[in-house]
Structure 1
Amino acid sequence: MFRSRSKDQQAATAKVTADQPQQPRDPQAPKGRPTPKRSDSQSQRRSRAQTPANRKDAVRAQREARRTDLARQREAMASGDERYLPVRDKGPVRRFARDYIDSRWCVAEFFLPMAVVILVLTMIRVRGVQDLALLLWFVIIVLMVLDSAVIWFRLGKLLPERFPKENLKGVKAYAIMRTLQVRRLRLPKPQVKRGERPQGKP
């Protein structure tokens, strides 16, 4: 009996409250939460508008974004645009290392053509020709090692002078790996001519 009476009282109170007209909120009264900035509100509306409706649309949007990023990276590889280069090639230090390699002749860039020549010579069943092929192989390997050592020590001196506050880890190895590529096939494309002084911090 007491329980049914209390329920009736609550229902009556709720009905009276619903019948009463709601008072308009005072614009000067605090809302209990900070007013969001206009830029934040616009960005939230844009993000809600651009959010895919289902999983299929989300996958399609991710695929399109990935395709766009790859296209930008390919263009950056050809133009040297730092904004869209892969992380491995970004930054002024890596740019200087690439320019240093591209501005000089490197023995290692002739390794692949010479390897083809040596392979052809070894297929000729003449003792003198095969001895010449072995000699050429030995000479090209020795010259590559010496040239790579010169590049390694030269960059080891230049990089700390020009970029004393930058992270230089892996930069010399990055430069040596670039010497193994034929110049016209290097990516990112060379931005300096042979003999041209590479740009960088003085």
Structure 2
Amino acid sequence: MFGRKNEPAAESPGQPEEDPAQPLTGKGTPTPRRKDQEAARRRPLVPTDRKASKAAERQAAADERVRVRRALETGDERHMPWRDRGPQKRFARDTVDARFNLGEYLMFAALAFVVASFIIPQDSQMQIYILSSFWVVFLLVFADTFWLSRQLKKRLTAKFGAVERGTVWYGSMRALQFRPLRLPKPQVKRGQYPS
């Protein structure tokens, strides 16, 4: 009573007739049934060939590790770990890599002090000087890292407005690593500060 009539609509004079030789512009096939689509996607929970499945998983994991390692060396952020991604982390890395940091030589100084303490006799007066000089170096590194964190926070706030949580700590810990061993690899030279 209120529905449409099932009569074919009369063509309006402005519409061209369909040519059977021309391909269909629409989908051209009926929509598949849900039951058929679900059956096509269905897979067993446990693969039939477990050896091949494990080998494929190991290969995929190895490929991912290679991709991440290459990204850490080249600076490609698409494949870096989440802790290293983002413009603020890149800015912090570039700022740390552009300056001379006392912290990157802390491990070498500690190793030298340990070796010196083994060489020099325990009852010698030199042991006090060695220990005192180690604490002086440690305090200088602490002061340098504190100064870096303050400068980094100020520069990040000026550039980005708000500082992401953990970015200043990320930069400070990077300053304590020896420059050639840092990952991601430094992308700037010393003195080449980011703007």
Give the % identical residues. Answer: 40
Per the normalisation by structure 2, the TM-score is 0.71
1:198 aligned partner, one-letter code:
P
Deviations 1:11-41 (A, max 9, x none): xxxxxxxxxxxxxxxxxxxxxxx737xxxx9
Which protein has the bigger helix share?
Answer: 1
Q: How many residues align?
A: 155
Cα deviation, residue 67, structure 1: 0.9
1:173 aligns to what? Answer: 169
Separation of aligned partners in 2, 1:117 and 1:128: 18
1:83 aligned partner, one-letter code:
R
Cα deviation, residue 53, structure 1: 5.8
1:156 aligns to what? Answer: 153
Per the normalisation by structure 1, the TM-score is 0.69
- RMSD, matched Cα: 2.5
Cα deviation, residue 60, structure 1: 2.4
1:98 aligns to what? Answer: 93
2:130 aligned partner, one-letter code:
A
Cα deviation, residue 156, structure 1: 1.4
Larger CA deviation: 173-182 vs 53-62? 53-62
Maintained 8 Å contact 1:77/1:85: yes
- Larger-Rg structure: 1
1:117 aligns to what? Answer: 112
Separation of aligned partners in 1, 2:31 and 2:161: 46
1:71 aligns to what? Answer: 66
Separation of aligned partners in 1, 2:91 and 2:191: 14
Deviations 1:120-179 (A, max 9, x none): 2212116342122112111111111111111111111111221226x6100111111111
1:134 aligns to what? Answer: 131
Q: SS of the counterpart of 1:168? A: coil
1:73 aligned partner, one-letter code:
V
